[in-house]
Chains A and B, each alone.
Chain A
Amino acid sequence: MNESPIRAASVLATGALFVSACAISDKSTEAPQLRAELCDGETTVDLEKTPTTREEGQAVADAMMAAWSAKNPDADWESDVRSRHWIAPAHDNSALLAAGQGSGVPGRAFSERDLLVWKRETERLVVEGARIFHSGDELGSTIAVSCDMCHPDAANTHPETYPKYQVQIGEAVLLRDMVNWCLEHPVRAPRMTEDDPRMRALEAYMIAQRTGTPLSYGKH
């Protein structure tokens, strides 16, 4: 069987899924069937002929992405969460792109691409936090209570005041300790371990929503 990979198209799909290369196999020994395969190794689209123009290539890529999206309906979860909840934007680092910035220092000259990656990856953690914050199921609530029911937009979570002596707990605590208290009591959910990915995302979201507020640990 002859494999003749052809770079047919590359598509930047919504939701930042980047399809970099696709393979079209010409299974001439079995049947005169052209088949394009997506880089997930699973999704394929049958072709009548080899695409020769950009438009034809794009049509193949679109068809494959449509097939992939149908199989992965939650792939665009991030923009889904963003359509529902306000997410404070991460810090604007564009000053780092100013002429001369970092020049001559290895690893300190940043590109727009660097800034884009930082922003996208950082905000994704925050968006994940927003998703969990608003979901009783994700939090493990046994009474269908989620954080946003008392803290819309993470209001009154005041992450900037931790660590502080929490009188009712009787010791100095971190934000995550208060989250665990809330989980056990108002939310009636099991505690999370400190390295639970949900706890990390929740902290990220609460801190992000208070951006611009001065830190004042110990504040009551």
Chain B
Amino acid sequence: MTIESVETKYMKSREQLMRSLLNVDRRSFVKVSAAAAAVVYAKGLAFPHSFQPVTVEAGGAAGGPDAEPFRFAYVSDSHLYDKTLNDRFVRSLLRAVDDVNALDPQPDFVLYGGDLAQLGQPTELELGAQILRELKAPVKMMVGEHDWYLDLGEKWRSLFGEDVYSWDHKGVHFVVLNSVVEEDFWTARGLTPMERMKTVAGLDNRSQSNFQVGPAQRAWLEKDLEPFAADQPVIVFSHSPLYHLYQPWNFWTIDAPEVQRILSRFERVTVIHGHTHQLLTNRIGNIHFHGLLSTAWPWPYAPEGLPELTVQMNRPNPFNPQDGCGDGHVEVHADGLVDKVYNLWNRNPVTVTRAYLASNGLQSPPAASNVASY
């Protein structure tokens, strides 16, 4: 007779349940979930904490295809140097990985929002890959300019695969773009790869080009979205904001208006971007925009161009290590719109709800800062 450990029995029952969930609609899912719960109760077992029956929301208010509610987490902008050179940024990324691994329930996946490395060096990217492997949930990678401009993406792609891709998850179509494409400013000046990298790595360095998605990716995006009807929920990830905020710091994507035009036929679109290292909220037409926090350092708010819907996070306190940094997650609702949770380290988390954006700021505004920027 085979003796099975408690863990094996648990994994088997879980596996059985997951198999039974395949190809069932949401209504059935609730039944199956309840049935599984009943079985577990009947056996006199407690729920393991990561295996709670979930509440499933009613269908989307906007009609059309509904998403199944779920959450995904994010970690972004870790700017790793070699661990022997700078341990601070390494510790911060480790903290974010611990945060995400402690989420209960676990997220369906983790978005890494770009700028894993500071100077795109193989050792930096490998260190980042090594740390991100500790995440329990699957990781979706996005590239940032700090990852790219030493070898124009060669090492990054060898570690993480394509930089532009899409997939479907629980009724939502996800797209990852490479929005940090810069026009060649280095050849004519005869810059070495490291000089090119360091130029792009300076946020306020004016001797570089601006970011763009570029015509090739825009054509790809149009084709990728072609099969979908206007009521399809779409979530797009881009490293730089897909709108024009502040050009001198590349809080800017040149062809953002063209990308917005491609997305504008969809009723429920969310764009989530890294690069700005701060709480940032915008809405253009139907497109909802959210920024990501950095694990390494917060950027100041741009001196001009801040979107009206942005409620600034409190001014970071330099005496408080990691203040203004953090990670977070995104709750995707049945209507395909999202609540964005900023998990600010050392502070209360801030949630920017879909109701806030859908009502153009009239409903449920996030708590306003009492220590504004200078």
Q: Which residues of A contact B (CB under 8 A)?
A: 83-86, 134, 143-145, 148-153, 155-156, 158, 161, 168, 181-182, 185-186, 219
Contact = CB atoms under 8 A, between A and B. Distances in A.
Interface stretch (B293-301, B334-342, B345-353): B293-301
Interface stretch (B4-12, B81-89, B279-287): B81-89
Given A143-B86, A168-B319, A182-B318, A148 B300 contact: no
B344 to A, nearest CB: 16
A156 B300 contact: yes
Most chain A C-beta atoms within 10 Å of own C-beta, residue among B86, B249, B297: B86
Contacts of B169: none
A86 B374 contact: no
A152 B299 contact: yes
B139 interface: no
A145 B86 contact: yes
Interface residues of B, number: 26
Interface in B164-211: 199, 202-207
B248 A86 contact: yes
Nearest to A167: B319
Contact of A152 (B204, B315, B319): B204
Given A84-B205, A150-B300, 10 more contacts: A84-B199, A85-B206, A143-B81, A143-B85, A148-B202, A148-B203, A152-B249, A155-B303, A161-B374, A181-B318
B205 A144 contact: no
B204 A153 contact: yes
A145 to B, nearest CB: 7
A153 B374 CA distance: 14
Nearest to A166: B319
Report which residue of A83, A145, A168 has the largest number of chain B beta carbons within 10 angstroms of its beta carbon. Answer: A145
Interface in B235-284: 248-249
A145, A152, A185, A219 — most chain B CB neighbours (10 Å): A152
B194 to A, nearest CB: 13
A185 B249 CA distance: 25
A151 B203 CA distance: 10
A85 B204 contact: yes
Interface string B341-368: 0000000000000000000000000000
B16 interface: no
A2 to B, nearest CB: 45
A83 B206 contact: yes
Contacts of A85: 204-206
Nearest to B296: A149
21 contacts: A83-B207, A84-B202, A134-B202, A143-B86, A143-B87, A144-B81, A144-B86, A145-B86, A150-B298, A150-B299, A150-B300, A150-B318, A152-B300, A155-B303, A156-B300, A156-B315, A156-B373, A158-B374, A168-B317, A181-B318, A182-B318
A81 B248 CA distance: 16
Nearest to B297: A150
Contacts of B206: 83-86
B135 to A, nearest CB: 25
A205 to B, nearest CB: 12
Contacts of B118: 144
A214 to B, nearest CB: 12
Nearest to A146: B202
A148 B85 contact: no
A181 B118 CA distance: 24
Contacts of A145: 86
A3 B295 CA distance: 69
Contacts of B199: 84
A84 B85 contact: no
Return the 5 tightest CB-CB contacts between A and B, nearest first. A152-B204, A168-B319, A143-B86, A155-B300, A156-B300
Contacts of B88: 143
A203 B203 CA distance: 21
B204 A144 contact: no
A141 to B, nearest CB: 9
A155 B246 CA distance: 13
Contacts of B87: 143
Contacts of B319: 168, 185
Contacts of A150: 297-300, 318
Contacts of A84: 199, 202, 205-207
Interface string B196-235: 0001001111110000000000000000000000000000
B204 A86 contact: yes
Contacts of A153: 204, 248-249, 303
